[in-house]
A and B are shown apart, each in its own frame.
Chain A
Amino acid sequence: DAGVIQSPRHEVTEMGQEVTLRCKPISGHDYLFWYRQTMMRGLELLIYFNNNVPIDDSGMPEDRFSAKMPNASFSTLKIQPSEPRDSAVYFCASRLAGRFTDTQYFGPGTRLTVL
């Protein structure tokens, strides 16, 4: 398996523009997570899905952020409009649930810079 795939790897945009980040989880995994990482706040969970259904989005900072998972092999995280404080590395991870197991597989991340 190719692992978790994220695109783009780097994104530079201007304040006010819409940004869409994409993720393809590992085939067969039933959980998908979106994280944001900054120096100040570390690695934060934004939202996660189980079987394509959003389970917890309490980490989504505000209404400008939205995430979808239309099918088991694709998810998007959208920021509209973007702001400079959204600059961060965004990670997607997938996991196969099991009792007393927790192995998340992370993608390479998308480095977002909002000017």
Chain B
Amino acid sequence: LAKTTQPISMDSYEGQEVNITCSHNNIATNDYITWYQQFPSQGPRFIIQGYKTKVTNEVASLFIPADRKSSTLSLPRVSLSDTAVYYCLVVSSGGSYIPTFGRGTSLIVHP
């Protein structure tokens, strides 16, 4: 299983771009990267997913370099409502599927 490492916490201000990087040095060929967001008193919510290069949706962008040993979740122009915990997962598309959330990155957006 690919182990992930991400910062425990980050602080930002409204209107800024936030980048959260996740390291996954032993990612396998069949693995892909998924990010979830969790607000207080709620379950996690899927944000974005990718295998390589760049993926963008209405919520965020995901940058994955060629070696795929890390990935960066980019949140453009954050607002107070983006204050949440963000989880990086590496999961396999084949064989054993065991999602590992860990503690995630707690993002606090200040006014």
Q: Which of A's residues lie within 8 Å of B, judged by CB?
A: 4, 31, 33, 35, 41-45, 48, 55-56, 91, 93, 97, 99-109
Contact = CB atoms under 8 A, between A and B. Distances in A.
Contacts of B62: none
A43 B93 contact: no
B43 A56 contact: no
A72 B28 CA distance: 31
Interface of B: 32, 34, 36, 38, 41-46, 49, 51, 87, 89, 91, 93, 96-104
B64 to A, nearest CB: 13
A102 B99 CA distance: 9
Contacts of A93: 43-44
A56 B98 contact: yes
A109 B43 CA distance: 7
A43 B102 contact: yes
Contact of A43 (B34, B41, B87): B87
A45 B91 contact: no
Contacts of A97: 97
Nearest to A59: B98
A33 B99 CA distance: 10
B96 A56 contact: yes
Q: Identify the 5 closest CB pairs spanning chains A and B, nearest first.
A: A106-B43, A42-B103, A43-B101, A103-B46, A102-B34
Given A102-B49, A108-B42, A42 B104 contact: yes
A27 B73 CA distance: 31
Contacts of A41: 103
Nearest to A105: B46
B104 A43 contact: yes
